[in-house]
Chain A
């Protein structure tokens, strides 16, 4: 009986096993092949790229060839580029992407482009590569802490020498001293700081339709804000007969304090952000007595239950789904996350009569107000030391200059003229008559625009093309750029200098201490009185915060941001 069993069972099992093993071996062999670097086809003709010089991206016409003036000769250079993709959910550019061909033919560069994962995953990937001295040649960074760490470790190459080889791009983007300071470490420029294409994007949004329904005016002071938010919570502004709305929706956005979504309250006391940047009182803002008052106001809102009680646990996308469902009367949001068509659509479907307008940040007792802080800085690039040592500097400059204007700019930013877009009489980007699935902004075309941030600079033509007009379900016209202009003109505190502050050695503990204490106060886990507040502020000493503040002050003074 035993034998019978053995046979009947082992036959199919053994067969699958053998098959699977063969497959595994085959696969390993396959993988090894891909590991070898693609051979550089040096025979590819290094064509002389000559053509009209283009001064600005906006005025450029399509017939222009690459902006490089000199003939590119010599062997083809392999260049690895890591960038956050234009659309992380989309596919990578196809192997036969037009831009790859042109970059190879005209710039003599064999481009190997990798889309880095967004958020912390991307930082982890970059860190791991850095730790093994395996950074790509050119890469985009978003995490200032990592940048300074890489710089301290000597992993980044100097970028000053690249500037002369990309005159137009340097003139347009890298000629602001204050911005360049942000990528300068010990006197050496170790990155390419892009100016922000758009900044001050976040604004306070309020439901105008709710105000109208309840016969209220937009609040201008913190006191009025409280009353309006209370009415939004308790007076059924959406008229559905259910008690399911909140005056203010928020979450802990960012590692500092209660996060930037509560900044407008601290702004009303003149203290938005983590740092107090005035020369005489430089240091953590929580040391300022007014910080306690602002925190008391936050507590007042929370005690009155007019802030969605889920706020401490919510994430950004939870907040977004809730204001789209019509639960919140007031919230902080990125102008495009609220008012661009793809994002607005969810709100529109739930709230056909909904009307979002931007609210001026309410004023505090001394008449101060600010939505938040801002820094007019965009993304930035770094070049690995390996790449500079390996003589790849000129090729990197060539690529960046090409992406700055003319052919490269439009190809990376909008695809192919006549195929993905057209120019209208006023030289604006136009898509009338182009098949929907070929339009540059469609889902189908995401792969060919994955490198668009390398090109974008924020000209009017570009913004018009990126932020398109649309109509709501009930026929109202919405122009996202109108909202941006309004958001831009709201009071916000310039915190460019903060970008220069390096993380403390025990940054995780400090961040936790500061934020956790504030949350405990506003939730009432710890009574908010002077005694507790003073011991909370005093507790900073136990974490060596003074040393961090001193170091921060020194680096800001060194860069001339603080007198």
Chain B
């Protein structure tokens, strides 16, 4: 399938690619547009949505550069340049916030991706359809647990006193560990609980892509005597490569989101030094402190970092994998 796309490199509409004289360029553009009128019509609702609901707020996000006063409104407030950004950059814990954010976020990306892909592959390969269905249904359930509830479960499992895990550890003669308040363990817990909660859910997307792979490819491979591992490596993985690249690229774009909901609920003072991230700081200082200019500025800063990363990563992906985001 991937092959067919590469070979059909020309276009969806090959007959519109006819050459035009330079003098008629404007005319030709108009003709092109007229030819695509149905496409434009199909685009219209989405375009309106993006202009109103995505660019509308972005226009109002100018409060990041303003001393925002609600009575004066967004436009009436005074410009103050980069002062809000400065407040963030010069804040006491800035360096720590950035490094915590990056460490947690990158770890979630790196360690979260393989389990989801492996689960999808195992589900796709299994011949015990019942088992597959049950695992699929069960594995995606944790996604619906809110972090507040997750915290309750984590406490029951990880409490240094009577948590299941620690009871097991001490039954085997080990030392009890205060996972949730231990600076060495806390990030492991963050990443691990995130994987536990989201792996089944992320696998759905990969599974959908696996199902779309043309079954005749597998048949041909079987006839050629390929083992199942070989089939996975040469058919399944290439078949879902696009989705993997896409998901990873998008995740890179939001690399400065380390998971506010999770951290806000699970972190505590003993582990602030390893888990206080940009978003938790913004919530405490910006949202609860009524400093919306500051909160918006940090949001834009995160966007710029994401933009830079995604542009670079997109180039790399195009070179290495032959495709990218756009």
**Residues on A close to B: CB < 8 A?**
120, 123-124, 127, 130-133, 143, 145-146, 149-150, 153-155, 244, 252, 308-310, 312-315, 318, 385, 503, 505-509, 511-513, 515-516, 519-520, 523, 525, 542-543
Contacts and interface: CB of A to CB of B under 8 A. Distances in A.
B270 A309 contact: no
Given A312-B268, A520-B270, A508 B155 contact: no
A308 B161 contact: yes
Interface residues of B, number: 35
Given A153-B70, A513-B92, A523-B270, A127 B287 contact: yes
B269 A149 contact: no
A385 B70 CA distance: 12
Given A127-B290, A310-B159, A542-B92, A512 B276 contact: yes
A505 B151 CA distance: 31
Contact of B69 (A153, A509, A516, A525): A153
Nearest to A148: B290
B285 A154 contact: no
B232 interface: no
B114 interface: no
Nearest to A321: B152
B204 interface: no
Contacts of B183: 525
Contacts of B276: 512
A153 B71 contact: yes
Contacts of A314: 155
B85 interface: no
A131 B77 CA distance: 12
A240 B16 CA distance: 85
Nearest to A127: B290
Nearest to A308: B161
Contacts of B151: 315
B86 interface: no
Given A127-B287, A146-B290, A509-B92, A133 B270 contact: no
Given A131-B70, A509-B93, A516 B273 contact: yes
Contacts of B269: 252, 312, 512, 515-516, 519
30 contacts: A120-B288, A127-B287, A127-B290, A130-B70, A131-B68, A131-B292, A133-B73, A143-B288, A145-B288, A145-B289, A154-B71, A308-B161, A310-B180, A313-B155, A313-B266, A314-B155, A315-B151, A385-B71, A505-B87, A506-B285, A508-B285, A509-B285, A511-B284, A512-B284, A516-B269, A516-B272, A520-B270, A525-B270, A542-B92, A543-B92
A154 B181 CA distance: 43
Interface string B3-30: 0000000000000000000000000000
Identify which of A120, A127, A150, A155 gathers the most chain B CB atoms within 10 Å of its CB.
A127
Contacts of A523: 181, 270
A511 B273 CA distance: 14
Given A127-B290, A131-B70, A507-B285, A310 B160 contact: yes
Interface in B71-121: 71, 73, 87, 91-93
Interface of B: 68-71, 73, 87, 91-93, 151-152, 155, 159-162, 178, 180-181, 183, 266, 268-270, 272-273, 276, 281, 284-285, 287-290, 292
B272 A309 contact: no
B162 to A, nearest CB: 7
A59 to B, nearest CB: 43
Identify which of B161, B269, B289 gathers the most chain A CB atoms within 10 Å of its CB.
B269
Contacts of B162: 244
Nearest to A120: B288
B272 A506 contact: no
A310 B152 CA distance: 12
Nearest to B71: A154
Contacts of B160: 309-310
Identify which of B273, B276, B289 gathers the most chain A CB atoms within 10 Å of its CB.
B289
Contacts of A131: 68, 70, 290, 292
A127 B273 CA distance: 29
Nearest to A155: B70
Given A154-B71, A516-B272, A519-B269, A508 B180 contact: no
B299 to A, nearest CB: 14
Identify which of B70, B284, B292 gathers the most chain A CB atoms within 10 Å of its CB.
B70
Contact of A155 (B71, B178, B288, B289): B71
A310 B155 contact: yes
Given A312-B269, A313-B181, A519-B269, A508 B69 contact: no
B161 A310 contact: yes
B180 A313 contact: yes
Contacts of A515: 269
3 closest residue pairs by CB, A with B: A508-B285, A508-B284, A149-B290
A109 B155 CA distance: 50
A252 B289 contact: no
Given A149-B289, A150-B290, A512-B272, 11 more contacts: A153-B70, A252-B269, A312-B181, A313-B181, A503-B289, A508-B281, A508-B284, A509-B285, A512-B284, A525-B183, A542-B92
A57 B273 CA distance: 53
A283 to B, nearest CB: 19
B266 to A, nearest CB: 8
A515 B284 CA distance: 14
Contacts of A149: 289-290
A132 B70 contact: yes
Nearest to B280: A508
A258 to B, nearest CB: 9
Nearest to A503: B289
B155 A512 contact: no
A511 B87 CA distance: 17
Nearest to A305: B161
A179 B114 CA distance: 60
A525 B71 CA distance: 47
Nearest to B276: A512
A431 to B, nearest CB: 36
A513 B93 CA distance: 9
Contacts of B289: 145, 149, 503, 507-508
Contacts of A313: 155, 180-181, 266, 268
Nearest to B181: A312
Contact of B287 (A124, A516, A520): A124
B260 to A, nearest CB: 13
A542 B276 CA distance: 19
Contacts of B273: 516
A483 B272 CA distance: 37
A132 B71 CA distance: 8
A149 B266 CA distance: 29
A120 B270 CA distance: 22
Nearest to B287: A124
B91 A519 contact: no
A123 B289 CA distance: 10
Nearest to B294: A505
A130 B270 CA distance: 35
B285 A312 contact: no
A511 B288 CA distance: 13
Contacts of A146: 290
B59 to A, nearest CB: 15
A361 B92 CA distance: 37
